[in-house]
Amino acid sequence: MTSPRLSVCIPAYNRAGQLPPLLDSIFRQNFDDLEVVIAEDGSPERDAIRQVAETYADRYPGRLHYVENPKNLGYDGNLRRLIELAHGDFVVFMGNDDLMAPEAAARIASAATRHPNIGVVLRSYASFHDDPQHVEQVFRYFDGERFFPAGIDTIVTFFRRSVFISGMVVNREAALACSTPEFDGSLLYQQHLVGHILAKHNGVYVPDILSFHRLGGTPDFGNSEVERGRFVPREQTPESSVHFMRGMLTIARSLETKLGLPLYVPILKDIGNYSYPILSIQADRSASVFLRYLLALARLGFWRVPLFYGYALGLLSLGRRRCDTVIAKIKRKLGRAPRLGAVYEGNKEGRY
């Protein structure tokens, strides 16, 4: 079977200084049939981003395509724009300050070729501060490569695990078929895509690290018209975190309604079973603010999930740093995330 063409798509907004290392990590891939598409979304650093893009376009003729959006589309709208601009069989999303792991493109292409009718490739990734050689934490969900046939169980498994964008891969034609501005301002367009695509197409999980997530960056969400009032530029407020989670559940409800599949409750339970990051992101606030935040999340429906209370009690009694340490040790010992609840793990060794 012919190897697919890949389009590595970068939604660019500020962070011009992190763009060269990202582009270097992409163009160092030992994979020829690859293009890079950058869509700049009206940021204050547009001129600097343009200069970087032009430098790399000259260095790699015909392999980098750079566009500037006439108006700020916001994160979700820019993802949709990138899919429209891409020419590859598969779109590989990369955050504008992260890095593509060595051999990532070849591994994506191999997985998409060896399994039938692939619509989504779910990645493993690692986080780092200054040097990707010094990894802080590895995010690996399963032991070994897994094939996931289209349907309810696969959608539920992939949904929560598709929030982090870098290294996420979708079939371009399938993504175009479910294009919509309905969820602009949610920062979660990728979850809408994953749900709709996996209703008809299969998924595959790759255990190799495909991307490196740079820690310590300041979020730039909230600058576009569709994001204002939901997110605050350069801050992660409790209110914005609640908006984020509400958006996630809104998409889950939409998938259930439009696909006619019982998805909402199992998705909510899976999110709740792994809700520690959602809680810990606001755990350094004062006790009163954190408790109000917990109550707001509980009202979204997480009161149904026992582990939600366990994480809350742990953070209130031990604090975030101690809890982070305990969870990191558990994941290192297992070599993957622990299985919590009824997580569908797909088929190992290519059994369809």
Residues 181 and 271 in one domain: no
Q: What distance lies between CA 226 and its chain's CA centroid? A: 20
Residues 263 and 323 in one domain: yes
Residue 19 lies in a domain: yes
Can you give the pLDDT at residue 216? 87
Q: With 60 as the cut, is the pLDDT of residue 350 above it?
A: no
Pairwise CA distance, residues 20 & 50, whole Å = 12
Can you give the pLDDT at residue 290? 98
- The answer to whether 54 and 66 are in contact (CB under 8 A) is yes
Query: Which tens digits make up the pLDDT trace of 278-306?
Result: 999 999 999 999 999 999 999 999 999 99
Residue 207 lies in a domain: yes
Domain count, the chain: 2
- Domain span at residue 283 reads 243-334
Query: Which tens digits make up the pLDDT trace of 248-283?
Result: 999 999 999 999 999 999 999 999 999 999 999 999
Identity of residue 164: F
From residue 32, give the alpha-carbon distance in Å to each of 4, 101, 310. 11, 16, 48
Can you give the pLDDT at residue 292? 98
pLDDT band for position 349 (50/70/90)? Answer: low
pLDDT band for position 1 (50/70/90)? Answer: low
Q: With 60 as the cut, is the pLDDT of residue 351 above it?
A: no
Residues 181 and 269 in one domain: no
Query: Which tens digits make up the pLDDT trace of 160-192?
Result: 999 999 999 999 999 999 999 999 999 999 999
Can you give the pLDDT at residue 352? 47
Residues 210 and 248 in one domain: no
Pairwise CA distance, residues 302 & 304, whole Å = 5
Partners of 228 in the β-ladder:
231
Residues 178 and 286 in one domain: no
Residues 159 and 256 in one domain: no
Residue 64 lies in a domain: yes
Residues 164 and 283 in one domain: no
Residues 203 and 301 in one domain: no
